Structure 1
Amino acid sequence: MIGDKGWLSARDEPNITFRPRKWERGETMPKYYLRLAEQTVRAGMRTVRKTLIVLAAGIAILNGLFLYPMLTAGFHWQKLLPLAGGTAIGAALMLVYFFSNRKSVDETCRWLQEGQFKWRTGRLDDIVGEVVDYTYDDDGRDPVVKLYAYVDGEKVPEPVIYKTHLSHSASEFLTKKTTVRIRREGELHLGSQVTLVKPIGSKETWILPQNLEFDEH
């Protein structure tokens, strides 16, 4: 049901510890973390690019498997227009998606360079997944899960964790209670000392590894 939760620490309760915290202005952040933040933003763009390349290759292969046999079998080219048109529309939508993401990345990097963000250091307490809605189809309903990080007891929505991939699964039993499981792959672990970067106007918050050697400007 809506409100059901799961957490990465897998304890009886999320491992959340409230500690003193203070957000700082963007221009005070050490340059080292600025570079890490930009790397994290551009890494997301590289993932989008790789995904689109795979999709484009798949579409090209499928078209080759269907169009070539049809043409060699004597199908008139006009009968193949719906398939070709669908392919063209799909390609156009992928291009729109790519350039939209690229514009967003460039804008975010500009915000970083101009100091339009806030930041602070802290400790990564836990990652929590919460059921916030359901989608419905012929097979029933599927939970929509939103992930949050907790750093020094503060709830951090839309976390983007440096070189770390978060995934989740959700299943329902006869009691209608939803069991949410969180999985983590990557560099940062629970309990890690981290640096948070929150661009002004963005829903995302980046969680970067803290390096004491670079905490001076």
Structure 2
Amino acid sequence: MIEVSGPTTTNAPCALSAMPLDGIDATVWAPSSSPVGGRIIEMSPRDLKLVVSGYVKLGSIVELELTSELFRFATSVRGQVHWREPSGEASVIGLFLYRALPHEVVGHFFSDLRKELRYDCRWSCGLYLPRNKQTADAVLINYSRSGFLVEASRSLPESEEVRLFDVNRPDAGTIANGHVCWHTRQGGGDSLLGCALPDEQGVRLSEYLRSARIMA
């Protein structure tokens, strides 16, 4: 049986990336606030995780400056802070970027990059299964731009359509609509389901998590 008491996010510090990103300096410029220094710990062409030394409001649209003397580049890109978790006295933030990082930035690390980053979020939710008009209890484990991972109370076959919904706010309707890509059995009869989302619905999912105050 899945055991999570109400909406919550994990408080464990984010695992630091093994990628050699120490040669990049990052500065976050947020509206109506002083610039905040940061350190990149994970990077993909269209999203980033950074450790930041100051406060950056969840949901804010920021300008990110990236410079490197080692790799000889300087660039800026706009993005939205969609995810945050504490890491000691600092915070780790996740940014969805409005455009892909240029090759001069990502090209140095291309063999090590993920296509997208995953963001932890342990939240009790539900899955609606249109094919047989049934529901299943679930816990959202993480999400990305184009997918999510849930622990569900039942196993589902690959390609099964699933609709994610808020069990505490059924009037909110479908939050994200995707299909099962892979599944594996867990102890106690639960299953892990890796699901794909079309049209980057992970961005919309992150917006709902903020609006429902599931992300703090």
Answer 1 or 2: higher relative contact order, Cα 8 Å, separation at least 6.
1
TM-score (norm 2): 0.21
Higher helix share: 1
Larger Rg: 1
